[in-house]
Amino acid sequence: MDTVLEVSQLHKVFPGKRKVHAVNDVSFTVGRGEVVGLLGPNGAGKTTIIKCVLGLVLPTSGSIRVEGKDPQARGSGAAHLLSAVLEGSRNIYWRLTPRANVRFFTGLHGLDGPAQKAYNEELLHKFGLTDNADTEVRNLSSGMKQKVAVVCALAKRTPLVFLDEPTLGLDVETSYELRGLLKQLAADEQRTIVVSSHDMDVVQDVCRRVLIIAGGRLIAAETVPDLLALFRSRTYRFVLEGRPDLSGLQAAFPQAAVTASGGQTAIELLLPNRADIYRAIDLIREAGGVLESVTQPGPDLEQAFLTLVRRERDNACA
């Protein structure tokens, strides 16, 4: 996978009476066709990083390359490669229609002609905006406004797209729809998409990899499965038929949490040693228990994110 975006030792200190070190020595790369999540609590520095890449904020030091071009240098050609939704539906003209907005923003990117027009129409159709393409944006729902903003960014056909909170204000169905479309675009057109969102479900669903920022520093850059694996605990959940006497199991594993409800008994058990699972099953069998299921509840991205961010905060305070 070739590299589309390369950020190296990026620092940003906002000048003023009280200097703010917003980004502190951040380095990462993003490959072509990747959908990457940029996560972090409020004020972590995500938007500053995005704006530095887009050339909207001047970095204090460090280097940024988009397909080898410097977006900070005028005339480098990097601007041709970049598009973004930064403030959702505020990024478009509410007095224009979705069709006119898409036409304007692609024109602003130097794109025109029948092929571009056809692509604009295709995107409007894919995002379910065709029926409202000639209605002024101000008369559309907030979800539709958000979709128009995303279409305006995607229609520029740039290899690298930044989407800051793309599902903000969308209902569940539209959010799922948008996630599907983003995955499809990344796969079909080899578009690289960086999604910054507080919605972990969106990031977990859409992104292959996540970059976690806290206090201006990059604290994790892992694929989603690898990150989840780091936080997978050795807790198992056994569900049994009926209510067998589990005193033997409880004696062997004092930490076992047993709850009975209806005609079932559930046992939550932390088994750091893999071999202990067989011992636990033997004890259940000896008690006359009939196993209905054994599961290992996995952590979700939200838990992993919170653990990492809190750990970083504690380290910073220590």
Partner 1 sequence: MRLTILKAMFIRHLLILKSYSFNSLSGIITMYIVFCLMFFGVQAMVPAGSIGRTLEGMLVGYALWAFAIFAFSELAWELTNEAQFGTLEQLHLSPAGLRWAVSANLMTGFLYNTLILSLLVALMMVTTGKYLRVDLIAVIPLLVVTVLGVYGLGFAGGGLQLIFKRVQAFFQIIQFVLVGCIVAPWDRFPWAKYLPLSLGNRLLQRVMLDGERLWELPLGLLATLVLLNLAYLTAGLLVFEAATQAARRKGMLGHY
* Residue (96 or 306) nearer to partner 1, CB: 96
Contact 126, 181 (CB under 8 A): yes
Only one residue has tokens 């602003």, namely: 108
> What is the full DSSP assignment across 158-170?
-SEEEEESTTTT-
150 binds partner 1 (CB under 8 A): no
136 binds partner 1 (CB under 8 A): yes
The nearest distance, CB 137 to partner 1, in angstroms, is 11
* Residue (51 or 147) nearer to partner 1, CB: 51
* Residue (153 or 280) nearer to partner 1, CB: 153
* Residue (170 or 280) nearer to partner 1, CB: 170
| 46, 53, 105, 197: which one binds partner 1 (CB under 8 A) | 105
d(CA 176, CA 204): 12
192 binds partner 1 (CB under 8 A): no
| 84, 124, 178, 185: which one binds partner 1 (CB under 8 A) | 84
268 binds partner 1 (CB under 8 A): no
Q: How far is CA 252 from CA 75, 133, 271, 284, in A?
A: 71, 67, 12, 11
Among the candidate windows 95-103, 250-258, 294-302, 306-314, which touches partner 1 by CB under 8 A? Answer: 95-103
Among the candidate windows 90-98, 122-130, 139-147, 226-234, which touches partner 1 by CB under 8 A? Answer: 90-98
The nearest distance, CB 208 to partner 1, in angstroms, is 25
Among the candidate windows 7-15, 181-189, 268-276, 304-312, which touches partner 1 by CB under 8 A? Answer: 7-15
d(CA 71, CA 53): 7
Q: Chain-centre distance of CA 175, in angstroms?
A: 13
CB atoms within 10 A of CB 149: 25
33-52: which residues touch partner 1 (CB under 8 A)? 48, 51
* Residue (54 or 210) nearer to partner 1, CB: 54
| 43, 68, 77, 288: which one binds partner 1 (CB under 8 A) | 77
d(CA 310, CA 275): 32
* Residue (15 or 272) nearer to partner 1, CB: 15
Only one residue has tokens 């609590």, namely: 41
The nearest distance, CB 90 to partner 1, in angstroms, is 3
Could you give the dihedral angle defined by the CA atoms of residues 107, 109, 110 and 113, in that order, rounded to the nearest 10 degrees? -50
| 1, 56, 251, 291: which one binds partner 1 (CB under 8 A) | 56
Residues that bind partner 1 (CB under 8 A): 12, 14-16, 22, 48, 51, 54-58, 74, 77, 79-80, 82-84, 86-87, 90-96, 100, 103-112, 136
